[in-house]
Structure formats: structure tokens, C-alpha cells
Chains A and B, each alone.
Chain A
Amino acid sequence: MTATVENVANALELEHVESHLHPEPSYDLAAHPVPSGLEEIWRFTPLKRLRGLFDGAASDAHLSWENDLPEGVTLGELSTEEAKALSVSAPFDRLGALAVANAGGAVLLDIPANAELDRPVRLTMRGDAADTLVWGHVVIRVGAHAKATVLVDHVGSATYDAFTQVVVGDGAKLDLVSLNDWEDDAVHAEQINLRAGRDSEVRVFEFSLGGDLVRTSLNVDYAGPGGSVDLLGVYFADAGQHIEHRQFVDHTAPKTRSNVEYKGALQGQDAHTVWIGNVLIRKVAEGIETFEQNDNLVLTDGAKADSVPNLEIETGDIAGAGHASTTGRFDDQHLFYLQSRGIEETEARRLVVHGFFNDIIRRIGVEDLQERLISAIEDELATVVGRLES
């Protein structure tokens, strides 16, 4: 009951902020018309390569799930109506609304209050073929003061559109890792909407390596003061791949913190990556801290990285706010220093790229996953930079 009262109070307090950067959230499909491609939120996305997702054709197909659940963690189901009633933002775009409308209910991962998991929750979602259309609706609910790591692994191939709701309770600690390790022909669109509880600590990692097109939109707001959210990403685009990561952090409560760091490498003809980092600091959000950073390493000609940080500020009382974006080739100084110690150019480039990504990867703290990511990057690098002879 208390929670409801607080939410209403919160909602009343928040003023409407009109902006082309973030449309109004709604479950109503009519509120999200089919885009022309010129809209701010769609202008970087090659809509034709979404394989008709906007048609919203019905499909009963699912990804096959393999689950490893620590004790106390359950997988269940929620009706669409129950999921909509959760305290977390409605979809910001048509793909999110379509996923809810077509999935026919949500899978609920429930981590009870006060649970301290002794190992990560592992969900492996596998698609069987690129032309299989799958609508997904997932709810991850982390109870108050629980402490959990959740790994979501996307493999195989599919044309997959998902809406994921993450509700993080007061004082909870969540590490959510989403790994997009698809086959080359997969299409994956996903909207992840997360509400961080009072004094919660959340880290979301996104790793996008495979797929023909991957477009994720990660939207965060705060249920109360003191919440801290890190959004961390690593992506590696090869020839022809489109990898797009969008974040919208809506500072809806005072004394909240957000930190966004995405790092990407690109190689090959028409490799395209997009990073859009939007942060809104509302009038009510006094004393908040935010920083967003995107770095891109362009390894070959013919690849293109778009990188756009946006900061909207409605209050004058901010502890810290900033953003940075870099896109460049190898730093000659790095290579010179390493080579001057006898290290061959190929090996020096490998070290620099590893170092670039390692900065994020080492923070996951799940060893087998870190090793898998490092070796995946090794494989990506082998095609252009050359493989280490050892």
C-alpha cells in the first residue's frame, strides 16, 4: 500500500518534459505510429532490415530457454495485464509495444526480497532459424535488499523483438548481463525498461557481438532517491553488421546516480554502430550525478560509428553531469610505445584492443563469461588484425 502511495506522489511531482529525444511511454500501439525512418529515435536504424517486425504479424514461436536457477529463484508467468501493472515505464516505441501486444503474456524471473544468491542466474535463449519470428516479454523482479547477478545469453538465430521489464526493489543490488552472441543472420530488437528502487545499486552490461542487426533501447528511471545505476556496454561490429545501443536515463528522483560507458570496435565494409546516450535531469532530481561516455575504435576503412550524447537539464542543483564521446583509429603513441619494447605491430594492436575492452569486461566479475568474451574478441580481431601466434 505504501508503495502505491509513494508512486502516485512521485507521478504527481514529475512535470511533463516535452522532448523529441524520448517519446511518451505507452502500451497503446496507436500512440506509436509506424515510423518513416526520419524520426529522431529511428533515423539511425535501417528499418528495412528489421524483416517486417513493424507489420506485427502474430507468431507463437518462442526462443528455447535453458535455465540455471540458484535456490529461491523462480521462473513463472504473468498475464499481459499483470505485467503492464508493474511499476516500470511503458514502452517508448512501437517495437516495445508490439512485443507486449504479441507475446501473449510475460515470463517472470522472480528473485525474492533479501535473497543473496550464491551464483549467477543463467538464462540461455536460443533461436532456431533467422526467419522464425519471435515476440518476447520478460519480467525480472528483484525484491528489496536482494543481491543477484542475472546473465541472459542470446544465441542461435531468430527475428526477435522483446520487451523486458526490470523492477529493482529498494536497497537491492542487481548485475544484469545481456549477451547478444547471435549467429550472423539474426535480427534482435529489444527494449529494456528498468526502474531502480530507493538506494538500489544496479549495473547493466550489454555485450553485442553477433547478429545482422541488433538494436537495444535501455531506459532507466528511479523509484526513489539514492539509486545508483551503471550502464556498461561492449560491442564489436563486422562487415555489414548494424549494432545500435540507445540509453535513456531519466533522473526522476533526487540524489540518484548514473554512469554510462559503452565501448565499441568496428571493422569491415559497412560495419555500422550507433550509440545514443540520453540523460534527463528533472526538476525534482536535485543533487544527482551523471556521466556518459562512448568510445569507438575504427579498425578499418568502410566502417561507420555514430555516437550522440544528449543531456537535458531541468534543475540547477546538480552534483555532477557530463558526457564524452570519442571515435578514432589506433593511437599511434600506444603502438609506438609497445613496439619500442619489441612487441610486433600485430600483437601491439591486439594488446591495445584488449586493453580497450578489458576495462569494461573485467568489471563483470564472472570469470567464465569474462574468458568467453575475451576469446570472442580474439576471434573477431583475428579476421583483420591477425591472430596471435603462440
Chain B
Amino acid sequence: MSTLEIKNLHVSVETDDGAKEILRGVDLTIKSGEVHAIMGPNGSGKSTLAYSIAGHPKYTVTDGEVLLDGENILELTVDERARAGLFLAMQYPVEVPGVSVANFLRTAKTAIDGEAPKLRTWVKDVNSALERVTLDPTFAQRSVNEGFSGGEKKRHEIAQLELLNPKFAVLDETDSGLDIDALRVVSEGVNRYTSQGDRGLLLITHYTRILQYIQPDYVHVFVAGKLAESGGRELAEQLESEGYDKYVKAAAAL
């Protein structure tokens, strides 16, 4: 049983006009076995939340903490956070020329587990993880994300999620830009991960579409750098019919 607690998180980025605050006090607690969906309009700071948890150097935490089982992970490096059990599936996975998927996955798995995976089973594990997200095993020999289509990049992220099997996963708009087949493949991968029962998921999305495939236990509306409202699945349905208008107006009125 693990807990990821985000407490009063304030984050800013450097701009030409000086520091700009993007996150303005985010509070959220996720426990193992829970699926949380964060929904919000463009520019609300959803991705900033994802990258800040992962430790991207572009974002400066000015206040608050993120605790993983009581330990403040904001003091850890990016790789230490991953080894502590966090995973970020990125909206725009990065191309790394010349580094093969096979080499990348083996290096990551070795880092996360603290020991090299058993050769006998590892190749099989990689191939079946790729196949489950309908990527041909030849992808293992290609450079990481290089020349992959948008959908292939997202499916590669989900293959990594399954192979690395973190305590908590943050999916940053993994559904955006996917056609319905790819969306189904990705969702099935995410559901295999959560169905273990002891994993936590933070699903960041702009659209309600993916929630037809992945059932959230909690839905949060994210506007202007903080949570505007939290509820159950019914909140997603309400957003589907009413949109974000009333939350955006309320935030603007403050």
C-alpha cells in the first residue's frame, strides 16, 4: 500500500518577462489501487503538474511538497524519482537517435530493479509487451521513438509502463492524437496495469473520450493552476455535456 500526496504545490517557469506561476497550490492524494482523472482546458497547467512531479528542470517548485510514502520526492533527481516508483508517460515522447529500444528498455529495467533482468526471459518479456500494444518486435531494434508515428510513440510509452511496472503512473494526455483503435490498445494496456490492484494512476486528459475505456474512481477539474472541483465519474459526464465554461469563468472572476 503506497500513497502519493501532492500538498500545496506551487510551480513557476522562467519566461522572458520573469517567473510566471503556473501551479497555484495543488492538493491531491492518490492511493494504490486508485485511478484519478484530471481534466481541464488547454493552458490550465495539467502538463506542468505532470512534469513537476517527474522533475523536469524547466519547472521551479516555489512551495509545497510531493510525498511518496512520506518521503518528499522533490528533493530527488529525475532518475531517483523513477527508481522510487514514479512513471510519466509523456504527451510528446522524445526521440533519442542511435539508442535502440532494446538497449533503452534493458538499461531502464536494470536501473529500476537494481539488477539486470534475466536474459532468458527478458527478450520474451519485451517482445510480448510490444506485441500487446500491437508494435512489431522489430521496433526493439529501432532508435527510441525515432521515426515512430504519434500513435506508435504513445503505444511505446504504454509498453514501458507495463515493463517497468511503477507504483504510480502519470499519463499526460496519452489519449490525445490517437485514433479509436490506438486508443483502445492504449487503454487496454493501462487497464492491465491498474488491474494488478496495487498500482496508482493519475490520468491527465483534455477529453472525456478515454474515460469510456478507463474507469476513474475520482475525477478532478483542473483550472488556472489548481483543482476547481473533485468528484466521481458523474463529474466527467457533467463536463462532457457542459464543458469547462463555468469553471473558467469562476476562475477568471477571482
The answer, yes or no, to whether A337 is at the interface (CB within 8 Å) is: yes
Stretch binding the partner chain, chosen from B89-97, B189-197, B198-206, B230-238? B89-97
Give Cα A305 to B26, complex, Å. 45
CB-based contact A340/B97 at 8 Å = no
CB-based contact B104/A341 at 8 Å = yes
Residue of A nearest to B84 (CB): A342
**Closest beta carbon of chain B to A51's beta carbon, Å:** 36
| Residues of chain B within 8 A of A348, CB atoms compared | 79
| Residues of chain A within 8 A of B124, CB atoms compared | none
Most buried by A among B57, B90, B108: B108
**Closest beta carbon of chain B to A371's beta carbon, Å:** 15
A330-370 at interface with B (beta carbon < 8 Å)? 332-334, 336-345, 347-348, 351-352, 354-359
CB-based contact B57/A336 at 8 Å = yes
Give Cα A339 to B82, complex, Å. 8
Residue of A nearest to B114 (CB): A342
Give Cα A345 to B83, complex, Å. 13
A228-284 at interface with B (beta carbon < 8 Å)? none
Residue of B nearest to A350 (CB): B107
| Residues of chain A within 8 A of B55, CB atoms compared | 339-340
Contact A340/B54 with A345-B77, A347-B111, A357-B98 known, Cβ cut-off 8 Å: yes
| Residues of chain B within 8 A of A354, CB atoms compared | 98-99
Give Cα A358 to B57, complex, Å. 27
CB-based contact B111/A358 at 8 Å = no
- What is the interface of chain A mostly: helix, strand, loop, or mixed? helix
CB-based contact B82/A340 at 8 Å = yes
Name the contact of A342 in the complex, choosing from B56, B144, B164 (C-beta under 8 A).
Answer: B164
CB-based contact A336/B56 at 8 Å = yes
Give Cα A356 to B97, complex, Å. 6
Give Cα A345 to B144, complex, Å. 17
Give Cα A355 to B97, complex, Å. 6
| Residues of chain A within 8 A of B93, CB atoms compared | 337
Give Cα A381 to B82, complex, Å. 25
Q: 0/1 per residue, B62-96, Cβ < 8 Å to A?
A: 00000000000000011101110001101001101
CB-based contact B107/A343 at 8 Å = yes
CB-based contact A336/B111 at 8 Å = no
| Residues of chain B within 8 A of A345, CB atoms compared | 77, 79
| Residues of chain A within 8 A of B79, CB atoms compared | 339-345, 348
| Residues of chain A within 8 A of B77, CB atoms compared | 339, 345
| Residues of chain B within 8 A of A341, CB atoms compared | 79, 82, 87, 104, 108, 111-112, 160, 164
Contact A355/B98 with A336-B56, A340-B54, A342-B112 known, Cβ cut-off 8 Å: yes
**Closest beta carbon of chain B to A132's beta carbon, Å:** 38
| Residues of chain B within 8 A of A337, CB atoms compared | 90, 93-94, 96, 144
The answer, yes or no, to whether B42 is at the interface (CB within 8 Å) is: no
Residue of B nearest to A344 (CB): B79
Q: 0/1 per residue, B45-57, Cβ < 8 Å to A?
A: 0000000001111
Most buried by A among B54, B81, B82, B143: B82
CB-based contact A338/B98 at 8 Å = no
A297-341 at interface with B (beta carbon < 8 Å)? 332-334, 336-341
**Closest beta carbon of chain B to A354's beta carbon, Å:** 7
Give Cα A338 to B108, complex, Å. 8
The answer, yes or no, to whether B208 is at the interface (CB within 8 Å) is: no
A-B residue pairs in contact (CB < 8 Å), sample of 22: A334-B94, A336-B56, A336-B78, A336-B94, A337-B96, A340-B54, A340-B78, A340-B79, A341-B111, A342-B108, A342-B111, A342-B112, A343-B111, A345-B77, A345-B79, A348-B79, A351-B103, A351-B107, A354-B99, A355-B143, A356-B98, A359-B97
